[in-house]
Amino acid sequence: MKRILISFQLVKCIRDVRVRSRAGFETERRGSHPYIDFRIFHSNSEIEVSVSARNVRRLLSFQRYLRSSRFFRGITVPNSSNILDDDYNGQAKCMLEKVGNWNFDIFLFDRLTNGNSLVSLTFHLFNLHGLIEHFQLDTMKLRRFLVMVQEDYHSQNPYHNAVHAADVTQAMHCYLKEPKLSKSLTPWDVLLSLIAAATHDLDHPGVNQPFLIKTNHYLATLYKNTSVLENHHWRSAVGLLRESGLFAHMSLENRQLMESQIGDLILATDISQQNEYLSMFRSHLDRGDLCLENANHRHFILQMALKCADICNPCRTWELSKQWSEKVTEEFFHQGDIEKKYHLGVSPLCDRQTETIANIQIGFMTYLVEPLFGEWARFSNTRLSQTMLGHLGLNKASWKGVQREQSGSGDDVDPAFEEMDSDILPQEPRLS
């Protein structure tokens, strides 16, 4: 009995302690959600109920996925709605044939795939780009990895969830198809781009970096208040890559290089570093010295592409863009409600009493989206770039119309954006 107890403790210890990476950091523990530690606000009984309920929800969510997706070894579970599921799967496959279309409706696709848009779309893109064959990937390991990624996005987040990740991945695919990139990128570049896009907000808690800092969250301490969420997304992605064993057949050197370069891409999505990246991009374009035969230059362009994909919502059609605007604002306001409730000081753009969707979106487009996509159009002056800028202009005009109706003036700009200068940019609460 004593030997069994020791064995159990040893197994538990191995499970709880993550092996330190040879690359010099510890991967994030799978399932270590950076939720705020509400123990400073709630009673112990409430904590137990909350944690228990969360664990059950995660388990049930995975079981629902197993029953609906039929991704695992072709297993089908008897279900009275099988005919309907087949019909919906057929429609989803038809949509995937147009996955490179900028008007791709990710919300519809998510419904057609029963909430599995990230898995379905990313697996399809791996196959479409020939990555499975080129890198000799085990399809079961790939699906397992993508399922774990989808699981570790929080479906209760209005905006930072798996649907957003799928939308960013689809946008990244559109950029990879652009003539300047498609003729220069290697399979390695495409592989890194799709993985980074799919995992760029992995395990996002639905609150921003300042919130984590002022609540003394362990992640803020771990990453010294610098790119806290982006570092966590990256480390979480590395943890899932290793857990899935997807690239176990590669050399250690290549795996370490992959992890490092995926990190470079994800860290570039930190919106507080927007000016730094934009300045470098503009300087390259002014000098005309970008050479996509140079691996470092290609990697930099992929960083800019992921930044564009991450905040491209205002460049979609009004029908899609408006939905995203409402969702991200809902997430901002939810954070503000928590901050008010616990007297934490409401973060910029998060007060539902003083902010409006129109004001937030106009400021966001003016100070962040327009400068970035203007430079991207200089780099890749294609039909897609002009389409995105066209939608951006129309959407901004639409929000100004809403703003005029609400305030009687079309000149209001959200002070949170207006006060920004070249050294001060908004932190994570924007469309990160």
Residue 333 neighbours by CB under 8 Å, 6+ apart: 350, 351, 352, 355
User: How many residues are recorded in the chain?
Assistant: 432
Average pLDDT over residues 166-189: 98
For residues 385-395, one letter each, b for 16 or more C-beta atoms within 10 angstroms of the residue's C-beta and e for the rest, the string is: beebbebbeeb
Q: Is 274 part of any known ligand binding site?
A: no
What is the average per-residue pLDDT within 240-261?
98
**CA 176 to CA 167: how far, in whole Å?**
14
Check the annotation: does 313 bind a ligand: no
Least-confidence region, from 44-48, 55-59, 165-169, 180-184: 55-59
The pLDDT tens digits of the residues spanning 336-345 come to 999 999 999 9
Selected residue with higher pLDDT from 21 and 410: 410
Query: Between the CA of residue 288 and those of 285, 292, 378, 379, 386, what are the distances in Å?
Result: 5, 12, 11, 9, 21
Band (pLDDT 50/70/90 cuts) for residue 216 is very high
Q: What three-state secondary structure class fits 276?
A: helix
Model confidence over 256-307: pLDDT tens digits? Answer: 999 999 999 999 999 999 999 999 999 999 999 999 999 999 999 999 999 9
Provide mean pLDDT across the span 321-334.
98
Residue 366 to residue 221: CA distance in whole angstroms = 33
How far apart CA 71 and CA 67 sit, in angstroms, is 9
Token readout for 138 is: 């085990």
Torsion of CA 323, 327, 330, 336, to 10 degrees: -140
SS3 content of the chain, % helix, strand, coil (to 5): 65, 0, 35
Is 163 annotated among the ligand-binding residues?
A: yes
Q: Is 361 annotated as a binding residue?
A: yes
* 325 pLDDT higher than 50: yes
Alpha-carbon separation of residue 89 from 85, 111, 141 (angstroms): 6, 10, 22
- In this prediction, residue 407 has a pLDDT band, given cuts at 50, 70 and 90, of confident
Question: 20: which strand partners?
Answer: 26
Lowest-pLDDT choice from 187-196, 206-215, 420-429: 420-429
% of the chain surpassing 70 pLDDT: 74
**Domains in the chain: boundaries:** 82-418
Please give the radius of gyration of the chain, using alpha carbons only, rounded to the nearest integer: 22
Per-residue pLDDT for 162 more than 70?
A: yes
CB 326 within 8 A of CB 395: no
What 3-state class would DSSP assign to 106? helix
Residue 92 annotated as part of some ligand binding site: no
| Residues with catalytic function | 160
Half-sphere exposure of 372 (CA within 13 A, CB side): 29
Q: What DSSP character marks residue 269?
A: T
Task: Write the secondary structure of 205-267 as one string of H (helix), E (strand) and C (coil).
Answer: CCCCHHHHHHCCCHHHHHCCCCCHHHHHHHHHHHHHHHHHCCCCCCCHHHHHHHHHHHHHHHH
The burial class, CB within 10 Å (0-12 / 13-18 / 19+), for 186 is exposed
Q: What pLDDT, on the 0 to 100 scale, is given for residue 80? A: 30
> CB atoms < 10 A from the CB of 216, how many?
11
Residue 19 assigned to a binding site: no
**201 carries a ligand binding annotation:** yes
What value does the mean pLDDT of the chain take? 84
Which residue's structure tokens are 């800092």? Answer: 213
Give the predicted TM-score (pTM) of the model. 0.81
Q: How far apart, in whole angstroms, are the C-alpha atoms of residue 387 and residue 410?
A: 25
For domain 82-418, the question of CATH label 1.10.10.10 is answered with no
Number of H helices, E strands in the chain: 21, 0
Examine the pLDDT at 3 and tell me if it is beyond 50.
yes
CA 285 to chain centre: 27
Q: Mapping DSSP to helix (H, G, I), strand (E, B) and coil, where does residue 357 land? A: helix
Tell whether the model's pLDDT for residue 52 goes beyond 70: no
> Does the annotation place 299 within a ligand binding site?
no
Confidence of residue 87 (pLDDT cuts 50, 70, 90): low
Q: Answer whether 283's CB lies under 8 Å from 348's CB.
A: no
164 annotated as a binding-site residue: yes
Q: What is the pLDDT of residue 414?
A: 61
> In 10 A of CB 427, how many CB atoms?
21
Place of tokens 């409430």: 46
Phi, psi of 211 (to 5 degrees): -65, -45
